[in-house]
Structure 1
């Protein structure tokens, strides 16, 4: 999949396209229906399939004082868009100046003049142009006026709950720690991505060395607690025999037993004490929440619970449970 970082990178000889647009935060199952329709239309009509997305998220530009956080990083978003089968993605830098373009100006400049769209595929909740004045009816009218077909994809509800798939719902589920529910809406497990940093090294002293990711720049981090998941090393790293997908017990929180203040994501790879992941970017995929964060009355009680958590994680992931570490030197 080609990625064009701004309008200037779109090839001058680009042929006709089937195009869609949106932030696609999380690329959840609702997004996936729109993307699949875009790819299918392109294949049927011998067009190039293209999605327009925006960075940063418009909400952070219009409401910089808010605590809005993307579900996934732009890197993960592009990976998911590529997995949908798109030929190309155009990442448009979003700013207050960019947001002044009205619906027709935006469509004419980007969909018609730049991408030569023959067909535009959008969800029925699409909004675009200054003050989000453009909607599905606006797009249909502009298509008639400017000469492209428009396909509106109706919202599809979750069959279990009847609720519409949305990024808002994913955020609600993650805020409650329901990563399994979020996975149902996303169509895959939720993940966070970040660089492994040095922590207090308590985990190593306790016999459970962890890869620590600061939780201030990871995307949406779920509620504090203990999770079963996978630590995934990027594909571009050489295969050094340590594996790229490793079963992990993941702690999210502030380590209240040790009066911690900084919120972190810490992943203990089951049975591994030989990994050196410092300064490496890793992905942590979260499958199930085991329990909430607890303050323990001393290290022995903490160690007993950690051993139970590791055994439960192994069961959830269907991998062998490692032996409990020898009694460590307590920090």
Structure 2
């Protein structure tokens, strides 16, 4: 997949396209329904399939005080978009000046002149242009005016799983309550947080459970505080390496037993391994199931008993 950092980078000989737009935060199953329509139509018509996305998130620019943390960082999003099978993705830098484009100016610059789109695929709730004033009706009118077809993807979801839709909102709600199993259903993969392993208080090592502590500001939305079963993956290692993907018990939150409540951390203990030196390495931590909420224990001994039980449960869930 080609990755273009602006419309100016799109080659003139690309030809006609089937295109779409969105933040694609998380690239969940709802996003992929749109993207798969794009790639399918492009194959049928012999056109290039292209997605347009933005960085930073528009809300982070226009209303930074209420901007949510990204579910997945830009690098991860681009990797996920590539997995869908797109021919290219354009990452447009979102600025306050860019936000002033009217819906027609946005469509003309992006889809008509920039991508020579013959088909534009959008979600039923897509918004674009100044004050998000452009919608499905606007896009259809502009398609007629500028000579491109508009295809609208309706709401997708699984009512038998109790999900309203496969949406970023539903995904954030699930992660916000620690319901990583629902998050997995929406994503069709385990949610992950990426960060460099840094030194912590070394309490886990002293207790016999050395943990990999992720740096502050790791990439990806951290789920609710609690203890989870999951995986620690080391992307720097070859995929076939036996230590590439390792089962782990993961703790998210503060350490109330030690009155260390000022800083929220993500730390992972690789099951039954005390020989790993991960400091300075960038790792992925994936969340499979929440085992329990965080709690304060009356003694270190009581904490150790619970940690042993958590590890046993994680081992049973992950490796049998």
Shared fold per TM-score greater than 0.5: yes
1:241 Cα deviation from its structure 2 partner: 4.9
Instruction: Please state whether the residue corresponding to 1:263 is helix, strand or coil.
Output: strand
The secondary structure found in structure 2 opposite 1:30 is helix
2:111 counterpart residue number: 111
Q: 1:204-255 CA deviation, whole Å, 9 max, x = no partner?
A: 1111111111353432111110000001111x43579552111000000111
Contact 2:247/2:319 (CA < 8 Å) preserved in 1? Answer: no
Structure-2 residue corresponding to 1:277: 278
Find out whether 1:167 has 2:168 as its counterpart. Answer: yes
Q: TM-score, normalised by structure 1?
A: 0.93
1-side partners of 2:240 and 2:16: how far apart? 44
Equivalent residue, structure 2, for 1:206: 207
Mark the CA change 1:240 to 1:136 in structure 2 (over 3 Å): closer, same or farther. closer
Q: Which residue of 1 aligns with 2:288?
A: 287
- The CA distance in 1 between the partners of 2:228 and 2:182, in whole Å, is 14
Q: Return the offset for 1:162.
A: 5.5
Higher mean Cα deviation, 216-225 or 193-202?
A: 216-225
Give 3-state SS (helix, strand or coil) of 2:13's partner: coil
- Call closer, same or farther: CA 1:155–1:7 in 2, change over 3 Å: same
Residue 86 of structure 1 aligns with which residue?
Answer: 86
How many Å separate the matches in 2 of 1:241 and 1:289? 27
* Structure 1 segments (4+ residues) deviating >2 Å: 214-219, 236-242
Which residue in 2 is equivalent to 1:148? 148
Match of 2:266 in 1: 265
Q: TM-score, normalised by structure 2?
A: 0.96
Aligned residue for 1:243, secondary structure, equals: coil
| Superposed CA offset, 1:64-109 (max 9, x none) | 1225111111111111111111111111101111111111111111
Number of aligned pairs?
Answer: 318
Q: Which residue of 2 aligns with 1:176?
A: 177
1:251 matches 2:251: yes
TM-aligned CA distance change 1:240 to 1:212, over 3 Å: farther
- The aligned runs of 1:7-156 (5 Å cut-off) are 7-66=7-66, 68-156=68-156
Query: Comparing both structures, which one devotes a greater share of its residues to helix?
Result: 2
Taking the aligned partners of 2:166 and 2:311, their CA distance within structure 1 comes to 33
Partner of 1:204: helix, strand, or coil? helix
Q: Which runs of 5+ in 1 are unaligned?
A: 320-331
Q: Counterparts of 1:154 and 1:223 in 2: how far apart (Å)?
A: 30
Question: Is 1:312 matched with 2:313?
Answer: yes
Q: Write the distance in 2 (CA, Å) between the matches of 1:102 and 1:55.
A: 19
Q: Distance in 1 between matches of 2:117 and 2:54?
A: 18
Residue by residue over 1:256-305, the C-alpha shift from the partner in whole angstroms, topping out at 9 and shown as x without a partner, is: 11111210000111111111111211111101000000111121111111
Query: Which moved further from structure 2: 242-251 or 46-55?
Result: 242-251
Answer yes or no: is the 8 Å Cα contact 1:70–1:220 preserved in 2.
yes
Counterpart-to-counterpart distance in 2, 1:241 and 1:174: 30
Q: Which has the larger displacement, 49-58 or 179-188?
A: 179-188
SS in 1 for 2:280: coil
Structure 1 residue 159, shift from structure 2 partner: 2.5
